[in-house]
Structure 1
Amino acid sequence: MEGVESSSNNGPIASVEPIEQVFDDFELNILKAWMCTVSVNMSMHTREPIRDSKLSGPEWIREILFGHSDRIYETFRMERHVFLNLCDLMKARGWLADSRYIRVDEQVGIFLSMISHKNSNRDLCERFQHSGQTISKYFAKVLQAVLNLAREIIVPPSFDVVPEEILINPKYNPYFKGAIDGTHIHASSSSANDCRVLSAALETHRLQFPRPPPGKYYVVDFGYAATPGFLTPFKGERYHINDFRGRVRQATTARELFNHRHSSLRNVIERSFAVLKNRFFILRHMPSFSIQKQSCIVIACCAIHNYIRDQDKMDKNFSQYGDSEYPFGNAQDEVIDDTSTEEDIEINMLKKRIANQLAIDNNMAEIP
C-alpha cells in the first residue's frame, strides 16, 4: 500500500511506551500532584492588565485642554495657548513627532507633569496609563527637545537696549545699566563630587554670557568680585531690602542709598528665580537622576520659563512676584571684600561716582 511504502521509506517509527511503564506508582503520583498544584496556581493568578482606566492618556490630555482654563494652568503651569504653541513649535522644528501610540501633546504633558509637580514615574504611569519604561522614554525625548529650545531662547542680553525696569524708573535711571544674579537649585546626590559637577555645568552655561562693553555692567551681588563689568554693593553697609524697612531705617548715607537701590534693582532677578522655582517643583526637590541629567533639567526649566515669558507676559506667576520691593535674599549674607587691582579700582570708582550722584540728587553728603 502507498501508506506502507511511505513508512518504509522514512525508516522505522519509534515506539512510545505507556507512561505507566516509564514511572513507577510512587513517581507517577508525585507527577500528578505537581501538575494539580500548577493548575490550581495558574487558576488563582489570572493575568489582567494593570493600566485599565477608562480615561487614557490622550483622553485625559483632551479633557484638560478643553476644560476650565484654570485647570490646565494648575496642571501644566502655563495657559492653554502657551501649551499649544509649545507643542506646535516642537513639531514644526522637528524636535518631536507623533508616535504610533503617543501624540506630541501627551509627550509634552508627561514632561510638564514631572517637572511641575511632585510626581514620580509611578504616578505618571497611572495618570497616563503607560508603563514606566514608556514614561521614562518620552520624558527623555522631550527633555532633549527643550534643550534644543534652550539654545535659542536663553541668550545674552542686548547691551544696546536699556532694560524697561531701569528705563522707566527714576530710582534706577540714569544710575544703573543692568542686572544679573544666581540662585540655589536643589541637587539629589550623596556625592560631593557630583554636586560639584552640577555646579560646574550650570556655571559653564552662565559663563556663556559675554563681558559687557565699556560703560555697561551687570549689577551683581556679593557672590562676585568687583571686576570690570560687574558692579557689586559696598562692603560693610546695610544691603538687603529688609534692612531698610520702615521710615526710621531708611538710608542715611550715600553708600547705604547705593546699596538699597542696588539691592532693589537686583531684586528683579531674584524675583525671576522665585517665579522659576515656584513654577517647577522639581527645582526644589530633584529626583535621583544622574547628575548630568539634573543639570539638563535645570536648563530646560529655564528655557520653558523664558518661553512662557515671551508668550504670556501676564502669566499668573509673573504677576504674583511683580512687587519690586518684595523681600528676597538672606539678610545675614555679607558682601565680599573689594580688591585693589588696577581693573578693580576702575569699577570701584564707577561705584563711587554713582553713589555720589545719588547723594547729590537726594541731598546727602558725598563720599570723599
Structure 2
Amino acid sequence: MIICDFDMIIRAVDATRPGASHDAFVFSMSSAKHYYLSQYEAGDRGSWLLGDSGFGIEPFLLTPYRNPGPRSAEHRFNQQHGKARNIVERVIGVLKSRFRCLKTTLPYTPQKVVKIINVCCALHNICRSNQIDDIETETVLENNPINEEIAENEENSSLYSVGRNIRDSIARNLIL
C-alpha cells in the first residue's frame, strides 16, 4: 500500500503484507488509517485520501460512486476522482523504473524486502525533493471491480454516512 500526494511524494508505505492482501485490508490495519482518522477527529475537514472502489468510504477517504448514470454529477465526480487517483499509479511506475529490482520478486526474506521497499520509497522522495528527473513508464489507471464485501461492511458505520455526504457535496459542486 502506498499513499502519495499530488506532487508524487510518498507519504506512507506498508509493504509488510503479501501481495495477495487487498489494499483496503492493509489500510484498515495500518497506522496511516489511525493517523488520518485522528486528524479528522481533531478537526481536519479539508484533506482527503482517494481510494478505489474496493475501499469503504470515510470522511477522510473518498471512493468512486457505484454505477453512476451517464452525464450525472456522480459520473463527473468519478471521472475527476480517477484522474486525481492516477498519481499513485504514476508513482508506482516511477519507483519500478527508477529501482528496477522492484519489477520482480526479490529473493530475500520478507523482512528484508520490506526494508528494501522502504529505502526505495525514501530515495524516491529524496529524488523528488531535489528535482531529479523521474524515469517513468506509461501507466493507465484501471477500473477495479467493486469489492462488495468491503463496501457493505462499511455501510453500517456513521463515518460511512459522513463520507458519503462529503462525496455527494463535492459531486454536486463539481463544475467541469
In the superposition, the TM-score normalised over structure 1's length comes to: 0.37
The 1:234/1:354 distance shift into structure 2, 3 A limit, reads same
More strand by share: 2
In the TM superposition, residue 277 of structure 1 has moved relative to its aligned partner by 1.4
**Counterpart residue identity of residue 140, structure 2:** F
Q: Distance in 1 between matches of 2:122 and 2:19?
A: 22
Distance 1:335 1:353, change over 3 A: farther
Partners in 2 of 1:332 and 1:195 — Cα distance?
16
Distance 2:12 2:66 in 1: 17
Question: Structure 1, residues 135-163: CA drift from partner, whole Å, max 9, x if none?
Answer: xxxxxxxxxxxxxxxxxxxx997xxxxx5
1:215 aligned partner: 45
For structure 2, list consecutive stretches of 5 or more residues without a partner in the other structure.
none
Q: Structure 1: how far apart are the matches of 2:74 and 2:103?
A: 35
- Quote the offset at 1:215 in angstroms: 1.2
1:351 alignment partner, SS class = helix
Q: Indicate which of 108, 112, 122 corresponds to 1:293.
A: 112
Match of 1:233 in 2: 64
Quote the residue 1:331 is aligned against: 143
Q: Post-superposition shift, 1:194?
A: 6.8
CA distance in 1, matches of 2:11, 2:53: 12
Normalising by structure 2, report the TM-score.
0.70
More helix by share: 1
The answer to whether the 8 Å contact 2:93/2:139 transfers is: no
Give how far 1:342 is off.
2.1
Equivalent-residue separation in structure 2 for 1:273 and 1:206 (angstroms): 18
* Structure 1: stretches of 5+ with no match in the other structure: 1-154, 158-162, 166-178, 188-192, 239-250, 363-368
Return the alpha-carbon distance in structure 2 between the equivalents of residues 357 and 231 of structure 1: 15
Runs of 4+ in 1 over 6 A off after TM superposition: 179-183, 193-197, 199-203
Q: How far does the alpha carbon of each residue in 1:185-214 deviate from its partner, in whole angstroms, 9 at most, with x for none?
A: 8x9xxxxx97679x9999647557543433
Give the CA RMSD over aligned residues.
4.0
SS at match of 1:233: coil
1:225 is paired with a residue whose SS is: coil
Task: Return the structure number with greater relative CO, CA threshold 8 A, min gap 6.
Answer: 2
Aligned partner of 2:169 in structure 1 is 353
Tell me how far apart the structure 2 counterparts of residues 259 and 316 of structure 1 sit (CA, whole Å).
28
1:331 Cα offset (Å): 3.1
Q: Write out per-residue CA displacement over residues 247-266 of structure 1, whole angstroms, 9 at most, x where no aligned residue.
A: xxxx6111110000011011
Residue 164 of structure 1: CA displacement?
6.8
The alpha-carbon distance between structure 1 residues 194 and 222, as it changes in their structure 2 partners (threshold 3 A), is closer
Partner deviation per Cα, 1:337-357 (whole Å, 9 max, x = no partner): 361432211110111111111
* Alpha-carbon distance in 2 for matches of 1:221, 1:351: 13
Which amino acid in structure 2 is aligned with residue 306 of structure 1?
Answer: N
Give the 3-state SS of the residue equivalent to 1:352 in structure 2.
Answer: helix
Per-residue CA distance 1:41-88 (angstroms, 9 max, x = gap): xxxxxxxxxxxxxxxxxxxxxxxxxxxxxxxxxxxxxxxxxxxxxxxx
8 A Cα contact 1:233 1:258, kept in partner:
yes
Q: CA deviation at 1:181?
A: 9.4
Paired position in structure 2 for 1:104: none
Aligned CA distance change for structure 1 residues 264 and 292 (closer, same or farther; 3 Å): same
The Cα shift of 1:269 comes to 2.0
Structure 2 matches for 1:14-163, cutoff 5 A? none
Which one of the candidate residues 96, 101, 107 is aligned to 1:282? 101
Match of 1:331, SS state, is coil
Partner deviation per Cα, 1:280-329 (whole Å, 9 max, x = no partner): 1211213321111111111111011111111125x042xx46xxxx6523
In the comparison of the two structures, how many residue pairs are matched? 161
Rate the CA distance shift 1:224–1:253 in 2: closer, same or farther, 3 A: same
